């Protein structure tokens, strides 16, 4: 039994796109850049900071211990919450110096007599590390505060007074009662990475659809195809084939970004809170597929109407404009993923593929919101595919007429035949 | 015999532009049918309607015994005038893909492809990208795409353009073979000598209408007396009744307007002091007939337009139509 024509078109699109060097450059070059960037920055940070500051209570020790010489008598008790053997006491600077020289400790602190009154503590390291003052001293601040307060929570509050900040808008109650875990100064990374990946994978793979249609027009292959296949079968086949291509590209980008985020967590000691569990992953996948379908069909219609890819390129930005909104309003998604702006963007069908997935990655999203957003997106994608099918007609595919708003309007109004 | 193609009074408009007004013809299995006409006459639009690329606004089309459903679509081979294959793809997989869209299994397509590639000197180039092939090679590759699935109806639009004499001869042979094998072939071309050599019947389309239709032999007989072969010296071009003058070896060939009297044309030549060594009626070539019919049509339209212009001018001047 012969395969349906759409399946043959899908297979051809998939094979030819995956065989193209430009696809692999796009699929691999960007992940290579972000991995190189993250590894490079890791090296730089390690060279300049040595190790991190205050480890999260309960986290396993992954860095070299830190020593101290307490001449002020401040550190009577080892502070709780630190990994065992992480903070080592030395009776004098000679022994501490020997341990540092032998590499048994990353650095040591000298608390001179009267340190509490003067506030002067000395940090001794082997190399000059200009960036090491970023947060490494928080460890010693915590150790001193713990001994002063004799209380772990108060000591942590002293070191970081605003560990959890919850936004309460005067205009109304926040939709989520759950506190948003603070992700530190690098907390914007996860939503930004998600927004970035979703935006670029949808736009590049949607762009493949445009290129594919425009190429058939430019090559004048369309007429040969239209004797064998209906324009809509052709469109469906292209959408199907390029869906596989989109998933391959997504896999590469997500893999590289996950790796890079893991590195970032190691480098900066940041508690990058990533929410992607199996359920969120499935939601995200549906959002991506529908988002791809929506924009690919719109770009395909553009390719069908335009006389060539160059002319279509002039209108591409107009089609992709809504998808840019979450990229530009990324701060809102990072700072208040359950805030009003984020919710609106994640429910509005044209921005939902990016905004909702960014939210799903960092906070628990109420299931009804995920469902409403998906239903709206599915309905819009369906309407847009149907609308785009109107543009996939022999007379548009064989036409070399220029693209204009008047022509677009005419094509939208035309009754399909 | 039941026709492989039956086209009756089809019409097509694009917006306010009337591309085809009234075209009709039939094509039978085993014949090579010529579809002729000047540029912009409506040939390609008629072919596209016939192949269901465009829907006709009016009329009736039957292909291979009925409406063009997917099964019948698979039995058509088409070489369009505007050639096109995927330039950045390799030759062999492209042809196999196009045969697949015609319902051929991949294995069968690959088996059949070898013979065609070898016959058309493309076997060595099967792994090359199409954009790396010469124009003539691309033309032959496209012909293979139209033939590989062994269609019952072959439509070829300008099949010889871009080919050298050797390949022209080869393509001609292939077209003749297809007809001998019982397939219906529709050939659209401006090369009238190829039509005379290959086609038994023709339809001439002008301004979206079938203006001439039938056996080439009968059409020529009908138009005999519409061409003169003259040996001599002088200006033959401005003689009333003469549509076109061209040199053929040491003689002049004059295409006459339909209905023009050859004796009257002779008298006009003598009046103009043209030196005549020999004067004889010639069997018109299809080229002569084409020129005669199309130019007459243009003349008639131009005359009509002038008459309409005069009428409009008179009405605008407050004059009465029909006077003066």
Residues B202 and B232 in one domain: no
Q: A61 lies in a domain?
A: no
Q: CA nearest B106 in A: which residue?
A: A2
Interval B138-171: pLDDT, tens:
999 999 999 999 999 999 999 998 889 999 999 9
Number of domains present in the structure of chain A = 2
Picking from A3, A223, A417, the nearest residue to B82 by CB comes out as A223
Which of residues B215, B248, B280 is at a domain's end?
B215
A233 with A319, same domain: the answer is yes
H-helix or E-strand spanning residue A206: helix A189-218
pLDDT of residue A313: 77
Say which residue the tokens 């480890």 belong to.
Answer: A55
Which whole number is the average pLDDT over A288-311? 87
In a shared domain, residues B209 and B227: no
- B51–A219 C-beta distance less than 8 A: no
SS3 content of chain A, % helix, strand, coil (to 5): 65, 5, 30
Which among A105, A129, A159 is the end of a domain? A159
Q: How far apart are CA A270 and CA A268, in angstroms?
A: 5
Q: How many domains does chain B have?
A: 2
Confidence of residue A172 (pLDDT cuts 50, 70, 90): very low
Confidence (pLDDT) at A46: 53
The SS3 of residue B62 is strand
Residue of A216, A224, A417 lying closest to B98 (CB–CB): A224
Of A16, A221, A227, the CB nearest to B53: A227
pLDDT value of position B234: 83
| Residue A262 within a domain | yes
Q: What is the CATH number of the domain that holds B232?
A: 3.30.70
For helices A189-218 and A231-268, angle between their N-to-C axes, nearest 10 degrees? 150
**Closest approach of A33 to chain B, Cα-based (Å):** 28
Residue B103: pLDDT above 60? yes
Residue A100 lies in a domain: yes
* B201 and B268 belong to one structural domain: no
pLDDT at A128 over 70: no
Quick check: A221 and B102 CB within 8 A? no
Interface of A with B in 33-92 (CB under 8 A): none
Q: Do both B232 and B303 map to the same domain?
A: yes
What is the ipTM, given to two decimal places? 0.77
Mean pLDDT of all residues in A59-75: 75
* pLDDT score of A175: 44
Tokens representing residue B47 in the block: 């072919």
Check pLDDT > 90 for residue B174: yes
**For the segment B200-230, what is each residue's pLDDT rounded down to a tens digit?**
999 999 989 999 999 998 888 787 767 888 9
For residues B188 and B126, membership in a common domain is answered with yes
Asked whether residue A297 falls in the same domain as residue A200, the answer is yes
For residue B50, pLDDT beyond 60:
yes
Q: Is the residue at A58 inside a domain? A: no
List pLDDT tens digits, range B187-199. Answer: 998 888 899 899 9
- The DSSP line for B245-285 is EEEETTEEEEEEPTT--HHHHHHHHHHTT-EEEEEEE-PPP
**pLDDT given at position B153:** 96
Angle between the N-to-C axes of helices B165-180 and B135-147, in degrees from 0 to 180, rounded to the nearest 10: 10
**What pLDDT was estimated at residue A56?**
52
Domain shared by B151 and B236, yes or no:
no
CB within 8 A of A177, min separation 6: which ones? none
In the prediction, which pLDDT does B11 show?
95
Nearest CA in chain A to B76: A227
Same domain, B138 and B231: no
* Residue of B73, B85, B100 lying closest to A8 (CB–CB): B100
**The pLDDT value given to residue A260:** 72
User: Are B102 and B136 within one domain?
Assistant: yes
Query: Does A189 fall in a domain?
Result: yes
- Does B84 lie at the interface with A, CB-CB under 8 angstroms? yes
Chain A contact for B245 (CB, 8 A cutoff): no
Domain shared by A264 and A141, yes or no: no
pLDDT, mean of residues A383-399: 81
* pLDDT score at A48: 52
CA distance B292 to chain A (A): 32
Q: What's residue A166's pLDDT?
A: 56
Q: Is A201 on the interface with B (CB under 8 A)?
A: no
Which chain B residues touch A221 with a CB distance below 8 Å?
Answer: 84-86
pLDDT at site B323: 29
Q: End of a domain among A108, A124, A159?
A: A159
Cβ pair B76:A222 closer than 8 A: no
The answer, for B162 touching chain A at a CB cutoff of 8 Å, is no
Q: Does a structural domain hold residue A204?
A: yes
Instruction: Compute the CA torsion angle B99, B101, B105, B107 (nearest 10 deg).
Output: 40
pLDDT of residue B132: 92
Query: Which one of B165, B183, B215 terminates a domain?
Result: B215
Identify whether residues B21 and B72 lie together within a single domain. yes
Q: What percent of chain B has pLDDT over 70?
A: 91
Inter-chain contact A229–B101, Cβ cutoff 8 Å?
A: yes
Q: Do B76 and A5 touch (CB under 8 A)?
A: no
Q: State residue A102's pLDDT score.
A: 87
CA distance B102 to A180: 59
Tokens of B228: 């003169």
- The answer to whether residue A172 is domain-embedded is no
CB contact, 8 Å: B149 with chain A? no
Q: Where residue B166 sits, what CATH number does that domain have?
A: 3.40.50.300
Lowest average pLDDT, out of A123-137, B35-49, B179-193, B247-261, goes to: A123-137
Residues A252 and A291 in one domain: yes
Nearest residue to B32 via CA among B254, B250, B192, B202: B202
Q: Which 8-state DSSP code applies to residue B283?
A: P
The pLDDT-based confidence of A219 (bands split at 50, 70, 90) is: confident
- B179 and B292 in a single domain? The answer is no
Contact A224 B105 (CB under 8 A): no
Range of the structural domain that residue B258 is part of: 223-324
Judge contact between A331 and A261, C-beta under 8 A.
no
Partners of B12 in the β-ladder: B20
Mean per-residue pLDDT of chain A:
78
- Do B321 and B189 fall within a single domain? no
pLDDT score of B184 more than 80 = yes
Could you tell me if A70 and A215 lie in one domain?
A: no
More confident residue, A136 or A214: A214
B93, closest residue in chain A (CA to CA): A12
Residue that terminates a domain, selected from B188, B215, B242:
B215
Say whether both B242 and B291 belong to one domain: yes
Residues A192/A197/A200/A202 CA torsion (nearest 10 deg): -120
What confidence tier does B25 reach under pLDDT thresholds 50, 70, 90? very high
A168 belongs to a structural domain: no
**Residue entry with tokens 């924009």:** A295
Residues in chain A within 8 Å Cβ distance of B144: none
Give residue B118's pLDDT: 95
pLDDT class for A38, splitting at 50, 70, 90? low
Whether residue A218 is found in the same domain as residue A314: yes
Which of B78, B80, B143 is the best substitution to test chain A (most A C-beta atoms within 10 A)? B80
The CATH number for A117's domain is 3.40.190
User: pLDDT class for A63, splitting at 50, 70, 90?
Assistant: low
Domain that holds residue A97: 66-159
How far apart, in whole angstroms, are the C-alpha atoms of residue B244 and residue A402? 39
């Amino acid at each position: 039994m012969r395969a349906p024509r759409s399946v043959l078109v899908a297979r051809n699109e998939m094979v030819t796109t995956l065989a193209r060097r430009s696809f692999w450059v796009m699929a691999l070059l960007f992940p290579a850049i972000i991995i190189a960037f993250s590894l490079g920055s890791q090296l730089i940070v390690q060279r300049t900071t040595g190790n991190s500051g205050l480890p999260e209570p309960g986290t396993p020790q992954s860095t070299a211990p830190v020593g101290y010489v307490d001449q002020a008598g401040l550190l009577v008790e080892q502070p709780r919450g630190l990994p065992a053997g992480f903070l080592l006491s030395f009776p004098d600077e000679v022994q501490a110096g020997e341990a540092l020289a032998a590499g048994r400790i990353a650095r040591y602190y000298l608390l001179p007599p009267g340190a509490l009154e003067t506030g002067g503590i000395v940090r001794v390291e082997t190399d000059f590390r200009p960036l090491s003052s970023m947060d490494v001293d928080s460890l010693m601040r915590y150790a001193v505060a713990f001994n002063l307060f004799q209380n772990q929570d108060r000591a942590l509050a002293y070191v970081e007074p605003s560990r959890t900040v919850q936004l309460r808008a005067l205009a109304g109650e926040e939709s989520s009662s759950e506190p948003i875990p603070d992700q530190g100064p690098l907390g914007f990374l996860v939503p930004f990475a998600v927004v970035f990946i979703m935006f670029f994978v949808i736009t590049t793979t949607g762009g493949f659809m445009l290129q594919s249609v425009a190429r058939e027009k430019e090559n004048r292959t369309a007429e040969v195809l239209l004797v064998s296949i209906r324009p809509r079968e052709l469109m469906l086949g292209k959408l199907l084939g390029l869906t596989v291509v989109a998933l391959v590209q997504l896999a590469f980008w997500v893999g590289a970004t996950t790796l890079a985020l893991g590195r970032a967590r190691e480098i900066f000691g940041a508690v990058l809170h990533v929410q992607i569990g199996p359920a969120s992953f499935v939601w995200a996948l549906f959002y991506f597929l529908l988002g791809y379908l929506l924009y690919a069909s719109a770009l395909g219609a553009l390719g069908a109407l335009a006389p060539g890819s160059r002319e279509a390129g002039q209108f591409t930005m107009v089609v992709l404009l809504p998808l840019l909104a979450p990229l530009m309003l990324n701060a809102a998604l990072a700072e208040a993923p359950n805030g009003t702006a984020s919710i609106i963007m994640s429910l509005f069908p044209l921005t939902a593929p990016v905004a909702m997935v960014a939210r799903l990655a960092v906070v628990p999203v109420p299931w009804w919101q995920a469902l409403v957003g998906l239903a709206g997106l599915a309905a819009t994608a369906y309407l847009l595919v149907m609308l785009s099918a109107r543009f996939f007609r022999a007379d548009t595919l064989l036409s070399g007429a220029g693209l204009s708003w008047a022509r677009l309007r005419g094509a939208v109004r035309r009754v399909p035949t | 015999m039941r026709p492989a193609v039956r086209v009756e009074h089809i019409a097509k408009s694009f917006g306010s532009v009337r591309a085809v007004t009234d075209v009709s013809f039939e094509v039978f299995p085993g014949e090579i049918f010529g579809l002729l006409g000047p540029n912009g006459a409506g040939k390609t639009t008629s072919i596209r309607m016939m192949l269901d690329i465009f829907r006709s606004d009016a009329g009736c089309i039957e292909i291979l015994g009925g409406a063009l459903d997917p099964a019948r679509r698979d039995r058509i081979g088409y070489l369009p005038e505007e050639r096109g294959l995927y330039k950045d793809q390799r030759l062999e997989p492209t042809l196999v893909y196009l045969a697949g869209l015609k319902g051929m299994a991949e294995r069968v397509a690959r088996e059949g492809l070898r013979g065609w590639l070898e016959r058309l000197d493309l076997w060595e180039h099967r792994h090359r990208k199409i954009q790396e092939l010469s124009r003539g090679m691309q033309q032959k590759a496209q012909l293979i795409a139209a033939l590989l699935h062994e269609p019952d109806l072959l439509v070829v639009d300008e099949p010889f353009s871009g080919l050298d004499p050797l390949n022209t001869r080869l393509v001609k042979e292939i077209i003749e073979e297809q007809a001998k094998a019982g397939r219906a072939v529709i050939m659209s071309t401006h090369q009238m000598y190829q039509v005379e050599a290959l086609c038994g019947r023709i339809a001439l389309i002008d301004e979206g209408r079938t203006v001439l239709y039938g056996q080439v032999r009968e059409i020529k007989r009908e138009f005999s007396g519409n061409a003169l072969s003259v040996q001599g010296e002088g200006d033959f071009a401005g003689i009333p009744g003469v549509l076109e003058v061209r040199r053929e070896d040491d003689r002049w060939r004059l295409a006459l307007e339909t209905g023009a009297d050859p004796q009257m044309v002779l008298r006009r030549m003598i009046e103009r002091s043209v030196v005549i060594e020999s004067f004889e009626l010639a069997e018109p070539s299809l080229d002569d007939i084409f020129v005669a019919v199309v130019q007459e049509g243009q003349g008639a339209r131009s005359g009509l337009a002038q008459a309409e212009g005069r009428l409009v001018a008179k009405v605008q001047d407050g004059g009465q139509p029909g006077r003066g």
